[in-house]
Chains A and B, each alone.
Chain A
Amino acid sequence: MPFVISKAILFEEINREWLVLNLHTNVPYIFNEMAAVVFKMMRNQTDSIGIVHELCRAFDVTSEKALEDLRLFQEDLFQKGVLEMSVLPNA
């Protein structure tokens, strides 16, 4: 599913973790180091295939496992308002 980082999100890296705040709800979240790695790639507009490829290369996981975990992570962020649906067809 094509997601982009919501404009209503503030984030700061603090000691390898990320502090994230949803401006709509003022609810803060913390991304652990693993989530931070993925979130950084999403910030750099790496697409899902690129992220999965990088996860497989860096962490020695299968592409199926990485893809499934990425999907769950993105869905969770979507529920929390951190990600929103992209309006661009190929984003």
Chain B
Amino acid sequence: MNRITLNISDYKLQCLFPGFDYLLKRRVAARFAPYVQENDSSAHGRLSVQPITMREHEHTEPQLEKRIKNWIEGYLSKFPFAPDPEAERNSLFSRIRPFLSVPEINRHLHGMPGDEPVSVLTIDQSFLVQNQTTGDSVLFLKSGFRWVKPFWDYSPISVIGKAVYYVAATSLPLSNTIMLHGTGIEREKAGLLFLGSSGSGKTTIARFCREEEVLGDDAILLKKKDNHYVISSCPFNSGKSIYLKESRLAMVLFIEQDTYHDLEEISSATAGSMILKNHIHYFRNFSADAVRSTFQQVADLCRTVPFYRLHFKKEPSFFTKIDQQLTEPCACRGPGG
């Protein structure tokens, strides 16, 4: 068995590859280069990659279907305002169902006790099963071994990358780290965290900065060290963030593209609510323990750093507003300030 260990903010994820593709381990190691820890067999969680072959019209056991339907119900309860839950339910089940009859997946799910909390995810025609008690996951990679394949076939590295992303996002909270959907910048030794939904301008903000200032343009890790918070890079960003960097967090900014620049302070509880609602990757897939840990950490963060709503035009002059705020005394609150 080939294996590599990824160290993501002190959370060690061991990735195990069967010998079906001799180059796979090397390519995954290259994809996550700065995070690979050589000769380290200790791990907080494991991600095993198993090749599968899909066959049509295979029988699915009603017992397994029932278990997955229960899981879907639990998952959908996290979307109480969904406009059409029935359509969601059907869509989810139709995506998952073909995998249930695959012998390897069938055996794996049968091997887990019925009351063991699991989460499942379909990724580009592959299937991920996570045991939420042990933190171990198995990625069932569709047609994992093909020496000759059509040119339009999916990339296994991309699927494995997404699986690592999911496992890290849902497991890191148990190591007191949160993965946030945002852009992290270090400016004059002050860490700035910009939070916004897709299309809100996170990448634009990163583009206004020098490469060495950017910690990440889409996913940022947040962790408490001593009595202050640090933001750090993680391996799930585009080009500018492949380096391992961290910076002491000075402020959090919720971004809104506008026709003017303005910085408006917002209440800590409101900020906490916005983070929990919109800016934590896969928050609805978290185990109860991970939700508790995340909640405590977000509440603590809210007592520690100031939060602002940043209205900005697509030009870098908005940094003047931030710089002014950073130079004011007591930019940070509480013991970390």
B-binding residues in A (CB < 8 A): 10, 12, 14-15, 17-19, 21, 23-31
A31 to B276, CA, bound (A): 15
Interface string of B258-302 (1 = CB under 8 A from A): 000000000111101100110000011010100110011011001
Indicate if the CB atoms of B80 and A27 lie closer than 8 Å: yes
**B269 contacts A23, C-beta separation under 8 Å:** no
Enumerate B193-212 residues with CB–CB distance to A below 8 Å. Answer: none
Interface centre among B272, B283, B284 (most CB of A within 10 A): B272
Contact B77 A17 (CB under 8 A): no
Interface size on B, residues (CB 8 A): 24
- Residues of B with Cβ closer than 8 Å to A? 77-80, 267-270, 272-273, 276-277, 283-284, 286, 288, 291-292, 295-296, 298-299, 302-303
| A14-B268, A23-B288 given; A28·B277 CB < 8 A | yes
Contact yes or no, B269 A26, CB < 8 A: no
Q: Which A residues touch B272, using CB under 8 A?
A: 12, 14, 19, 28, 30
Q: Which residue of A lies closest to B286 (CB)?
A: A26
B77 contact from A14, A18, A25, A29, Cβ within 8 A:
A25
Q: Which residues of chain A have C-beta atoms less than 8 A from B77's C-beta?
A: 24-25
Provided the pairs A28-B277, A29-B273 are in contact, do residues A14 and B80 lie with their beta carbons within 8 angstroms?
no
- The CA of A26 and the CA of B77, in the complex, are separated in Å by 9
Give the docked Cα–Cα distance between A30 and B291 (Å).
17
In the complex, 19 of the A-B residue pairs with CB atoms within 8 angstroms, ordered by the A residue number, are A10-B291, A14-B268, A14-B299, A14-B303, A15-B268, A15-B269, A17-B267, A17-B270, A18-B269, A19-B272, A21-B276, A23-B291, A25-B78, A26-B286, A27-B80, A27-B277, A28-B276, A28-B277, A29-B273
